[in-house]
A = this chain, B = another copy of it.
């Protein structure tokens, strides 16, 4: 059986949980701290740089969200979340890259402040511009009718959970309700997040936050 070494709080761990449930794959969840918090060397051995989630399957370990997505879709192809159409699939990867690099990676600069009680860093206009550019790119490239691509896909999972953490960053650092500026993206996210599986995934995050 698939084992997921994940942190319930983490949006990337939640992405993999979301995908597994959409694909109806049974899994065992092993609540785990990243190497940066636990200094547990065995986590470092199993992953690229000690980050979570890590998927374990028949003694092999896979880390990095996109690598896990690829593995799950090839190994368990009954419900595909990458398309078999080359163009549709390429655009799915493009959307994920936009969310990853131009949105979440930028917002990540403020995670210590927004999520972990660190001191507030200066609100960088450069980072704000990049996040805005990322959302513009998403608006231009995603279908948003209603999903990111023509069908529900990994792009929806990635967009949902990367924007989930970006919203409070924009609010708390820039006093910026970013989804007010991107209504079509907001509507798409509402539809993605109203799926029963999405609700259960977000419930788990909320519970983990309460515990913390």
List residues of A whose CB falls within 8 A of some B CB. 45, 48-49, 57, 60, 62-64, 66-68, 70-71, 74-75, 84-87, 89-91, 93-94, 97-98, 102, 133-134, 137, 140-141
Q: Are A94's CB and B133's CB within 8 A?
A: no
A-B contact pairs, 29 of them (CB 8 A): A45-B140, A48-B97, A48-B98, A48-B102, A48-B137, A48-B141, A49-B133, A49-B134, A62-B91, A62-B94, A63-B94, A64-B93, A64-B97, A66-B66, A66-B97, A67-B90, A67-B93, A67-B97, A68-B90, A70-B86, A70-B89, A70-B90, A70-B93, A71-B86, A74-B84, A74-B85, A74-B89, A74-B90, A75-B86
Q: How far is the CB of A193 from chain B (nearest CB, A)?
A: 23
Closest to A66 in B: B93
When chains A and B are docked, how far (Å) is the Cα of A71 from the Cα of B67? 16
Query: Other CB < 8 Å A-B pairs besides A45-B140, A49-B137, A60-B87, 17 of them?
Result: A48-B94, A48-B102, A49-B98, A49-B102, A49-B133, A63-B94, A64-B97, A67-B91, A70-B86, A70-B89, A70-B90, A70-B93, A71-B89, A74-B84, A74-B85, A74-B86, A74-B89
Looking at the assembled complex, report how far the CB atom of A126 sits from the nearest CB atom of chain B, in whole angstroms.
Answer: 13
Q: Which residues of B contact A48 (CB under 8 A)?
A: 94, 97-98, 102, 137, 141
A97 to B89, CA, bound (A): 18
| Closest residue on chain B to residue A71 by CB atoms | B90
**Chain B residues, Cβ within 8 Å of A98:** 48-49, 64
Contact B94–A64 (Cβ < 8 Å):
yes
